[in-house]
Amino acid sequence: MPGPDGWDEGADGDVPFRPMSISEMLDGAIAGIRRRPRITLGLSVAVSTVIQVLVTVATYYFIGDQADGEVTPGALLESVGSQLILGAIGLALSAYGILLLSGLLAPLLGRGLLGTPVPPRQAWRDVRPRLGRLIAVAALIMVVSLLALLLPIVPFLLLVAAGAHPALDVLAAVAGFPVGVGLMVWLYMLLVLAAPAVVMERETVGGAFRRARALSRGRWLRTCGTLLLTLLITLFMGFFALRIPFLIVQLVFFGDASHGTAMVLGLAVDTVGRIVSWSIMLPFDAGVIALLYVDRRMRREGFDLELRSRGRSAAAIIAAASPAASAPADSAGATAGRGRSGDDDPDGFFDLWRPYAAAAPGALAPAAVPPPSNAPRTGVTS
């Protein structure tokens, strides 16, 4: 039945259309995968395959047979160091893939949030006009975060290269590594919402980062806690539960292989295991990031209340927000903003997500809209 604000509650999709708890965001990410497995897993398999094949090629050529027949401490340390570096590269590439998928899946979750149908090719049509900007935004988030990690440990690296006293090396490491990790985590959490923002709001690269900072302001700890919990689930499922069958096969049949065809087959089995595990877990991480973006829009800008004030169904909202229907009622600034969408928003869906929509002339102020009966907002803050 329609709620007191006239919104048809049957229009709600996999995710409750109100500010969400952490458990609801985790459940919503899983529900999004379950509801549209072909689209979400198809995108995830494509991204995961590229990432894991690159990691496998780097492993084969970077490590090679350097430890074959060698049991000296130096050779073992070189092998361990190489594997640590490759592990770090793999994690960085996986994080980049998660950011890409968060932008790719954000329109799917957004349309599901409004209960609108999602044709099989809709994901590509929604993202294609902003794919280049999404790639750039995800790359900049990773570059900024990694630079924040590396800069504080530069003194340690310089001291090691110069052969300084071990006590100075330890002091520089103790001071540099915690600061670097802290800066990396802080900047990543501050900027992570730029990936869905650049797609959903049709923003420029700089505009997406400004929106991410604005949405994250005052709620950094909540964002950090949500993503850390998601990371723990991902690491457990991706590194252990889903990869155990492939690790058993690799150890049983290719455990002693260090060169030749057997080593290549062992790497192939390991690669397939990583592709399978990360193809399932990456959309979960990406979905949580996309839902964090939606939650921040609701908490800070009253996005859910503003949409509920427009009509009884998602179809009516999109029809009312389409450029042809709403251009006469818009101000010059809003009309100019819609012009940025052009032909990449034929149904007016993305026009709903622009920040200026809440301030459009004639729109009912969010504070004047009563909360829905099934979504009390008592205690909800920005």
Does 55 map to a domain? yes
Mean pLDDT across the chain, nearest whole number? 76
Does 315 map to a domain? no
More confident residue, 240 or 174: 174
Q: Is the CB of residue 137 less than 8 Å from the CB of residue 103?
A: yes
Does 323 map to a domain? no
More confident residue, 252 or 43: 43
Q: What is the DSSP letter of 165?
A: -
Q: Helix, strand or coil for residue 321?
A: helix
160-173 residue pLDDT tens: 888 888 888 889 88
Work out the angle between the directed axes of helices 154-162 and 166-191 (0-180°, nearest 10): 150
pLDDT value of position 168: 87
CA 45/CA 31 separation, integer angstroms: 18
Instruction: Give the structural domain span for 180.
Output: 16-301
Does 6 map to a domain? no
Phi, then psi, of 365 in degrees rounded to 5: -60, 140
Does 370 map to a domain? no
Whether this prediction's pTM lies above 0.85 is answered by no
Q: Helix, strand or coil for residue 202?
A: coil
The residue assigned the tokens 């999004």 is: 32
Does 157 map to a domain? yes
Q: Which two tokens stand for residue 293?
A: 């973006």
136-185 residue pLDDT tens: 999 999 999 999 999 999 998 888 888 888 888 889 889 899 999 999 99
For 304, residues 6+ apart whose C-beta sits below 8 A from its C-beta are 17, 18, 19, 298, 375
Q: Which two tokens stand for residue 104?
A: 């790719």
CA 110 to each of CA 131, 335, 365: distance values in angstroms, whole numbers, following the listed order: 17, 23, 22
- Dihedral, CA of residue 132, residue 137, residue 138 and residue 140, to nearest 10: 120
Does 372 map to a domain? no
How many domains does one find in the chain?
1
**pLDDT bucket at 86, cuts 50 / 70 / 90:** confident
Does 235 map to a domain? yes
Residues in the chain: 382
Residue 46 has pLDDT above 80, yes or no: yes
